[in-house]
Amino acid sequence: MIITMLPAGQHVRDVYAEAILPNARKDALLIDCSTIDVESARTVARDAAVAGFRAADAPVSGGTAAAGSGALTFMVGSREQDFSEIEQALQPMAKAVIHAGASGAGQAAKICNNMLLGISMIGTCEAFALAEALGLDAQKFFDIASKASGQNWSLTSYCPWPGPVPAAPSNRDYEGGFASAMMLKDLRLAQEAAASAGADTPLGGAAEALYNELVERGMGQRDFSIMLEMLRGRL
């Protein structure tokens, strides 16, 4: 098998066209785990099929912590008949391998998932900033919200406020984790996809603008939960 994970669609297209398709054994299973635009994923899969290969797009969710523990979630776009072999190949790195549909469906799932993640993190950061302004202790707010209707992954698994979730990047001065620049890239992909599909995503657009501002303030390589510090007026 050949597994790739590259920054953008053009990189994937180039690597497949120049290195993989001309040189790989014809029985190789090709799996791209990049987060790229849907059209690039479909183009690569089509070119691979023409060249006689089985190919899949399989972007991941979970961040560096899940990567380190072999607990990533893979969203797979592929032919149905190829999925069992793809699942077996990815299982050592995964807590879940989910068949999203045909080629490109994995990328569609990842783009939608990360748009939701970006939006929910901003909402969580806004709530902590408001709680602070109202004089509410951050730990008390966490204890309440994590058991109330505001509970979400950005709060209980990746808390942007230092303290409540010891493994969160907020306890390492927002180092490591999922870079703000990467979140901005994914939100841009989501907005491009929305424009292409004619879908209305106003919160996705607002999230893209806020992460663009965060990156412009020099925080591109810090974890995306550092959005809290911008909303607190500390950047």
Read off the pLDDT of residues 77-101 as tens digits, 9 standing for 90 and up.
Answer: 999 999 999 999 999 999 999 999 9
56 forms bridges with which residues in the sheet? 31
Are 44 and 32 in contact by the 8 Å Cβ rule? The answer is yes
pLDDT in tens, 189-200: 999 999 999 999
Look at residue 30 and tell me whether its pLDDT is greater than 90: yes
Which residue, 110, 145, 147, 143, is CA-closest to 126? 145
Active site residue 140: no
Cα 63 to Cα 60, 67, 174, 220, distances in angstroms: 8, 6, 13, 16
| 3-state class percentages of the chain: helix first, strand second, coil last, to nearest 5 | 60, 10, 30
Task: Give the pLDDT of residue 63.
Answer: 79
Look at residue 65 and tell me whether its pLDDT is greater than 90: no
CA angle, corner 108, sides to 106 and 100, nearest 5?
Answer: 40
- From 95, 110, 140, 185, active-site residue: 110
Q: Does the predicted TM-score (pTM) go above 0.95? A: no
Provide CATH 3.40.50.720 ranges for the chain.
Answer: 2-103
109-231: CATH superfamily: N-(1-d-carboxylethyl)-l-norvaline Dehydrogenase; domain 2 (1.10.1040.10)
pLDDT in tens, 226-235: 999 999 999 9
Look at residue 64 and tell me whether its pLDDT is greater than 90: no
- Architecture of the domain whose range is 2-103: 3-Layer(aba) Sandwich (3.40)
Provide CATH 1.10.1040.10 ranges for the chain.
Answer: 109-231
pLDDT in tens, 169-193: 999 999 989 999 999 999 999 999 9
CB-based contacts of 28: which residues, under 8 Å, 6+ apart? Answer: 1, 2, 53
Where do runs of H (alpha helix) occur along the chain?
9-15, 21-23, 38-50, 63-69, 83-90, 105-133, 138-145, 153-156, 180-197, 202-214, 227-231
- Can you tell me which residue has the tokens 């069992």? 84
Structure tokens at 214: 């965060």
Task: Give the pLDDT of residue 66.
Answer: 87
